[in-house]
Amino acid sequence: MMAAAGVNVVRMAEFAWDRMEPRPGAFDFSIFDETIDVLGAAGIETILCTPTAAPPRWMTSANPDWFRENASGVRMTHGSRQHVCTNHPEFRAASERITRAMAEHYRDNPRVIGWQTDNEFFCHISECFCPACGRDFQRWLREKYGNIQALNEAWGAAFWAQTYGDFSEIVPPRQDRPTYPNPGAQLDWFRFLGDAIRDFQGGQVNILRSVQPRWWITHNGTFQHVDYWNLAEDLDFLGVDVYPGFTVQKPEDYWWAAVKNEEARSASGSYIIPEQQAGAGGQWPYLHRTPDPGQMRLWAWQAVAHGADGILHFRWRTCRYGAEMYWNGVLDHDNIPRRRYDEFAREGGEFARLGDSILGTTLSVKVGVLLENDQDEAHQTMPMGLPSPDEQRRVILRELLRRKLEAGYVNAHDSFEGLGIIILPGFVLMDEDLAARLGEFVERGGLLVATARTATRHRNNHVSEFTPPGFLRDVFGATVEEFGKLERGSIDLEMAPGVVAPVGDGYEILSLRGARALGNWQCSRWPAPHAASGLPAVSHHVHGSGSAIYLGTYISADNAAALIGLVLDHANIPPLAVASDGVEITCRHSASHRLYFLLNHSGQPASVSALPVGTDLITGQPCDGDCTLSPFGVALIKA
């Protein structure tokens, strides 16, 4: 059935440690040997996973100190997954032992083409406060700062008498204190978590690469406290697991899955989907809606439309027992093919036929929404009930996709080449290097956009001594003279006489220093920051060959259409086509051609117009610029 459906690769073994090592040092790979051989005979290759997210019971029984410890000091127990601390040196040694045993066993098996490390780092839990983590945190800090005086300065430890005399005095910032932790210490703790999981993965990666260099290696994310740009440095490409059923209630909700795909693409460029939803996901407290006919195929094409170069659905046959026995796959419990299998086979046939036209192309991005893990971590150390960079980033991408623009996430460490607009969603941390790169982008003709609180702190999480936006004040030609939080509806942003955008959460009063005002504050109700009435809220500044817009507020679902519209008035970024809000359009391109992906997330037919002339590769029919999509339909126009 797999071969008939066009399957060319499967993924397995991510939780099978107890089957492969039923007793200490006694390895048995026979069930996988047989399965890989059967699949191989049908022309299907295998991705293996290191099974380190679920160690066997004999191991945890003998080593109770390996269990994770939560913020309240409670040790976890066996019976789930991710319950053992990846920083415990003995567990790391055991993880590397099973990795090496698997690698040596399959080193010459031509059917094994690649590996996934572990499974979904930090999916359920990202923090552990066991003694091993405490020791590793101290070591990490010692390597970063060199001496305790440098740490005390970086953390501002003089406040609340937190000055340390030695690294051994430092403990992780847990919840056993009367009030809130030091934000500098908290940010370093989050950074440590990400570096530590990369180090855990690195032990496995080094073994796999040394045993068989032809293998490629990936991991499946994306979750908090992992810097995936950093993690992906050790991988050939990243993977991301996408389950739209968590959020999709109406056609316009397609943006959530787009976000997951963009998180992976912006971290490693080329990426794959190790787990794409195949049925209704269900665990103890919930059960997703079953995908409508066509949605499973649509979601797979959506991943390809954002740059994915491989799709694996989770799962093949639904498991009949365990915590995920209602995490439904392509086949139901009884192994009988039904409509989801038929849809899966249609998708497989299309990918087999069109893969050569797609591989080698990349997503076209003209409007980049900047992403940097450090910005989200810094916000978590001092959220104050204000929108995070991630919250704004999602709203911004949603609005850009609604307008059918060539838009996507761009990592702050990446090149800005080819972008027309860069949007900084509340990048509180700023350094001279990033500021210089952003300034050069503007000088070369780009449009830079920032929202409230941008460039207000240094990388050590101290508030900057420079008037905001600090290192970027010359680029924006304006400074922030006052900021504050808002009662919703207490203030409006007037962008032109009679044209008002709703504002929520926060405001900033700008002082123009070469820039001109694009919007002013209106304060007609109480309570409101009356010092803001009539003063600049949005500025525009010409800098070199480009310009910069500073938005003295946060972008939200309420004002995204108005504020993004204001930004686009100052840039020449045409839409890819014209269609309703439930239709998603992206473009992948190469030196020789452009591919337009048209995705109808609605259960009703939808029309698309103003397309380039080309051919729909799925149907083989010519496209004269207009196209009608069936419910949950897909078109792929080559122009």
Return binding residues for substrate: 81, 119, 284
The sign one gets for the Cα dihedral 399, 470, 156, 131 is positive
Q: Where are the beta strands (DSSP E) in 33-105?
A: 45-49
Q: Is 275 among the catalytic positions? A: yes
Q: Is 252 among the catalytic positions? A: no
Residue pair 116/220 in contact (Cβ under 8 Å)? The answer is yes
Residue pair 469/452 in contact (Cβ under 8 Å)? The answer is no
3-state SS class at 238: strand
Q: Annotated catalytic residue: which of 263, 275, 343, 372?
A: 275
User: For residue 560, what are the contacts with CB-CB under 8 A and spacing of at least 6?
Assistant: 395, 396, 398, 399
Annotated binding site for Zn(2+): 85, 128, 130, 133
For 174-219, give the DSSP string.
-S-SSSPPPHHHHHHHHHHHHHHHHHHHHHHHHHHHHH-TT-EEE-
Alpha carbons within 13 angstroms on the beta-carbon side of residue 71 total 9
What span, in angstroms and rounded, lies between the C-alpha atoms of 194 and 155? 19
Residue pair 509/482 in contact (Cβ under 8 Å)? The answer is yes
Sheet of strand 614-616: strand arrangement: 362-363, 583-589, 594-600, 634-638, 614-616, 622-623
Q: Annotated catalytic residue: which of 14, 21, 69, 120?
A: 120
Q: How many residues does the chain have?
A: 639
| Sequence letter at residue 129 | F
| Sequence letter at residue 128 | C
What span, in angstroms and rounded, lies between the C-alpha atoms of 25 and 114? 24
| Sequence letter at residue 619 | T
Cis-peptide into 497, omega within 30 deg: no
List residues with catalytic annotation. 120, 275
